[in-house]
Structure 1
Amino acid sequence: MKIFSSSFSNIEKGLDYAALKQKTIANNIANADTPNYKSKNVKFTEIFKETLTNELTAYRTDSRHYSFRMNEGHPAIAADRQLSYNQNGNSVDVDKEMAELAKNQIYFNALTDRMSGKFNSLTNIIKGGR
């Protein structure tokens, strides 16, 4: 019997992604005046979509066999080497980074609110609905 649904692990992965994106954005803002610094971005959706399109299927002859899947997509940090917004070779656009920061904060808050709701439901179940 599975006590916790897979939504807990999915929310946890989302929170990990949001934390990594937060660190990356903060690093970009901190290096906004560093010469030749190239802004970095967390690439998760591209890897996730690629994993879905390249999903392999296999025929299992026994239920005890492992399922045949490709590795799960994990976030990767990539630098954009072609852009340069400043004369010193820096590619950080502070306005864009601040907008991404606000968007990531909203995403993070939604995930924590959802996780809180899940735990409240479990608490309610444990208490017997009282």
Structure 2
Amino acid sequence: MDTYGLLKTAMEVSNKRAELISTNIANVNTNNYKAKRVQFESELQKAIGKNQFALTTTNERHIGNLASLEPKVIETNATSLKENGNNVDLEVEMLDQATNGLYYNAMTAQLNGRYRMLNQILSN
């Protein structure tokens, strides 16, 4: 599996998630606006479970090219609506924003660690 590609995809998903959270917050009082979410982790789990990205594998631990997995943007309709038809919950958005920041920082730390390891190997 292309770890760098998967980390890049995860960081792009986090960036998209940050954009949608900002959009949701900006539209907290917009009539009939529905909150949007990025669905990626569940899609990744499905892909791993189904191995829908199956390629010719040379080792039983190979699970295919998951870096090509695309996130889905969904509109949230399950939450309660305000009088104006809007379903953005500012507290949920702030929590999602904090969680996404931690997620992005973790992905950055993973990528930096891999680059440091690669740099160390190349300099020896």
TM norm structure 2: 0.79
The CA deviation at 1:57 is 9.5
The CA deviation at 1:46 is 2.9
Contact 2:27 2:33 in 1 (8 A): yes
Contact 2:47 2:53 in 1 (8 A): no
Contact 2:39 2:72 in 1 (8 A): yes
Greater Cα offset, 47-56 or 84-93: 47-56
The 1:27–1:116 alpha-carbon spacing in structure 2 relative to 1, beyond 3 Å, is same
Task: Please list every run of 5 or more consecutive structure 1 residues that lacks an aligned counterpart in the other structure.
Answer: 64-68
Contact 1:85 1:93 in 2 (8 A): no
Q: How does 1:86-101 map to 2 (within 5 A)?
A: 86-101=82-97
The 1:48–1:124 alpha-carbon spacing in structure 2 relative to 1, beyond 3 Å, is closer
**Match for residue 74 of structure 1?**
70
Q: Which structure shows the higher helix fraction?
A: 2
Distance 1:26 1:115 in 2: 25
The CA deviation at 1:123 is 1.5
The 1:73–1:123 alpha-carbon spacing in structure 2 relative to 1, beyond 3 Å, is closer
TM norm structure 1: 0.75
Contact 2:34 2:87 in 1 (8 A): yes
Task: Please list every run of 5 or more consecutive structure 2 residues that lacks an aligned counterpart in the other structure.
Answer: 59-63
Relative contact order, higher structure (CA 8 A, sep 6+): 2
**What value does the CA root-mean-square deviation take over the aligned residues?**
2.7
Distance 1:56 1:101 in 2: 31
